[in-house]
């Protein structure tokens, strides 16, 4: 059963402190369609130790500007309703601090082909509002998966990452971080393959379309196979880059 705040006051008036005490004031969770969840805490707002909430009583909020079970918009709040009675930059932090009330987290896309790709709300929120993305570009919560070809047509991240509003989709590693690959080779010295070095001259496709899978490779390639153009040998053939037939120590560190 719902307990109304007036019942609580009545309980206090009639001296039933134990009853009042036992009526623990719950946190209220607002579920918004476009901006996630907002949790309102009675206990933090009624803390007597905090100078700014010391004189806050039930009626500071439970008045005509904040009615239970009435939905308020941010526009209403800007006009002093609901949270906006105090969250105006004077009595409490301003409404412009969206993330103080609306909780957002870092999103991780598990992309099979490239490894995990993260989206940071906080980086983006430095220069934009929730409404720049929600819900025109993304619903909060899982959206239908989008591939890079669809992004190129302006979907998902591609709505802004088009080389104009923000960096282009061709800058793959800004969203898909890559790491070095080390090959442990007994007898011939280990080999470090550097993505970053090679990405100065190549895109992911130059190697991952035909030479390697993004999930790493299953079967080790021999030098004899490389001499026939496999793996590193596709380029390290003395024409495109130094050959695998010599230069052993440029790759194998001893
Ligand atoms: C800082 C503002 C604020 C103060 C102070 C405050 N409340 Fe609330 N109270 C709220 C908000 C916001 C809600 C949620 C309203 C809604 O459901 O739309 C709420 C809801 C409630 C509810 C309904 C809870 C439920 O589970 O639906 C009760 C009961 C209540 N308050 C009692 C009190 C009492 C008693 C006091 C004083 C001791 C008090 N409140 C002080 C803001 C406040
Ligand atoms: C009666 C004035 C008042 C009202 C109304 C009010 N707040 Fe606050 N709120 C404060 C004060 C004062 C603080 C202390 C922080 C500060 O000094 O800015 C605070 C702090 C907070 C905090 C940070 C502390 C915490 O609880 O985590 C959140 C979040 C918050 N308010 C959310 C809300 C929401 C959501 C509403 C509307 C449902 C609301 N407040 C309505 C006065 C108010
Ligand atoms: C003091 C806390 C607080 C702050 C700061 C705040 N909001 Fe809200 N917001 C709420 C609460 C609570 C609701 C739900 C109110 C309800 O349903 O009655 C809400 C609802 C919304 C909604 C759905 C209703 C609507 O207006 O369309 C959107 C969108 C939204 N907020 C965006 C924002 C953005 C963007 C910012 C920053 C500019 C922001 N909020 C700052 C507390 C806050
Ligand atoms: C630059 C675009 C962008 C902006 C700005 C943005 N978001 Fe998001 N948001 C996203 C993306 C992308 C996702 C992930 C959607 C998915 O999982 O398919 C997301 C997911 C969410 C989710 C669900 C995440 C979860 O925890 O499951 C919430 C809630 C959310 N956003 C709230 C907000 C709020 C509130 C703001 C403003 C304070 C905001 N967002 C601003 C892009 C944005
Ligand atoms: C509403 C426009 C918009 C959308 C949608 C958007 N971004 Fe961004 N993004 C920006 C802007 C603006 C910047 C900052 C300016 C810049 O660096 O070009 C940025 C910066 C970034 C950065 C650099 C962060 C840093 O640390 O410097 C990454 C990574 C990024 N976005 C990834 C994504 C991903 C992944 C998505 C899709 C899930 C996405 N963005 C959707 C506009 C957007
Ligand atoms: C702005 C950030 C961003 C940039 C730049 C970017 N991607 Fe992506 N990419 C993503 C996100 C986010 C996903 C996952 C989207 C989803 O699941 O909805 C993805 C998915 C993928 C996928 C799996 C889906 C598919 O298209 O097959 C591949 C492969 C991929 N990216 C490769 C690349 C390559 C190659 C580049 C450079 C040409 C690149 N990406 C540039 C963010 C980016
Ligand atoms: C010059 C060639 C080359 C280019 C260009 C290249 N890669 Fe790779 N990539 C490799 C090699 C070699 C491996 C390791 C294959 C193996 O397991 O032997 C690899 C492995 C990977 C792996 C698996 C790593 C692991 O932990 O197992 C991922 C993910 C990956 N690459 C992503 C990318 C992305 C994203 C791009 C573009 C931004 C890219 N690569 C561009 C050569 C390349
Ligand atoms: C798509 C072509 C391509 C592939 C595939 C490729 N490389 Fe390269 N690599 C180059 C080019 C071009 C250079 C720079 C030209 C030169 O130094 O001859 C280079 C340079 C290097 C260098 C020298 C870097 C430096 O710091 O000077 C090393 C080491 C190297 N590659 C290792 C590898 C290994 C190991 C593989 C296989 C796992 C590989 N490369 C696959 C094209 C490629
Ligand atoms: C462009 C870089 C590169 C050059 C140059 C190179 N290697 Fe390798 N080598 C590799 C990589 C990478 C592997 C591991 C391949 C794998 O596991 O898929 C390897 C594997 C090997 C192996 C173990 C597999 C086998 O074929 O038995 C031996 C031995 C070897 N290299 C010797 C040499 C010698 C000797 C030279 C010089 C004549 C040489 N390599 C030049 C990159 C290079």
* Complete DSSP assignment for the chain: ----HHHHHHHHHTT-HHHHHHS----EEEE-SSS-EEEE-HHHHT-SSSTTTTT--HHHHSSTTS-TT----HHHHHTT-GGGGTTTTTSS--TT-HHHHB----EEEEETTTEEEEE-HHHHHTT--GGGTTTTT--SSPPPP--HHHHHTT-GGGGT-SSSSS--TT-HHHHS----EEE--TTT-EEEE-HHHHHTT--HHHHHTTT--TT--SSPPPHHHHHTT-GGGGT-SSSSS--TTS-HHHHEE-
Question: In ligand 8, which atom is closest to the CA atom of 191?
Answer: 35
Q: What is the mean pLDDT of the chain?
A: 87
Ligand 2 centroid–CA 94 distance in Å is 10
Report which protein residue has its CA nearest ligand 2's atom 6: 83
Q: What average pLDDT score do residues 42-69 get?
A: 88
Question: In ligand 6, which atom is closest to the CA atom of 204?
Answer: 35
Instruction: Average the pLDDT over each of 33-37, 111-115, 121-125 and give the range with the smallest value.
Output: 111-115
pTM over 0.85: no
Is residue 37 predicted with pLDDT exceeding 50?
yes
Report which protein residue has its CA nearest ligand 7's atom 27: 216
pLDDT digits (tens, 9 = 90+) for 178-190: 888 999 998 889 9
Domains for the chain: give ranges and CATH numbers. Answer: 5-101 (3.90.10.10), 122-172 (3.90.10.10), 181-253 (3.90.10.10)
Is residue 235 predicted with pLDDT exceeding 80?
yes
Ligand 3 centroid–CA 57 distance in Å is 23
């Amino acid at each position: 059963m719902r307990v109304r705040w007036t019942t609580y006051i009545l309980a206090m008036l009639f001296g039933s402190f134990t009853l009042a005490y036992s009526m623990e004031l719950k946190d209220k969770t607002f579920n918004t369609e476009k901006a996630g969840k907002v949790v309102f805490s009675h206990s933090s707002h009624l803390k007597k130790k905090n100078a700014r909430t010391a004189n806050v009583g039930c009626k500071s909020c439970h008045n005509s500007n904040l009615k239970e079970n009435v939905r308020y918009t941010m526009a209403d709040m800007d006009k002093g309703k609901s949270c906006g009675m105090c969250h105006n930059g004077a009595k409490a932090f301003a409404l412009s601090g969206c993330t103080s009330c609306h909780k957002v987290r870092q999103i991780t896309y598990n992309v099979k082909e490239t490894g995990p790709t993260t989206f940071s709300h906080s980086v983006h929120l430095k220069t934009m509002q929730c409404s720049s993305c929600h819900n025109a570009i993304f619903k909060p919560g899982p959206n239908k998966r989008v591939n890079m070809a669809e992004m190129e047509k302006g979907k998902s991240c591609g709505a802004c990452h088009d080389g104009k509003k923000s960096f282009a989709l061709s800058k793959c590693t800004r969203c898909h971080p890559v790491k070095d690959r080390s090959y442990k080779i007994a007898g011939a010295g280990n080999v470090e393959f550097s993505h970053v070095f090679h990405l100065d001259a190549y895109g992911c496709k130059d190697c991952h379309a035909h030479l390697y899978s993004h999930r790493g490779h299953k079967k080790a390639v021999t030098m004899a196979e490389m001499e026939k153009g496999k793996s590193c040998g596709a380029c390290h053939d003395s024409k495109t880059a130094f050959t695998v037939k010599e230069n052993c120590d440029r790759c194998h560190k001893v």
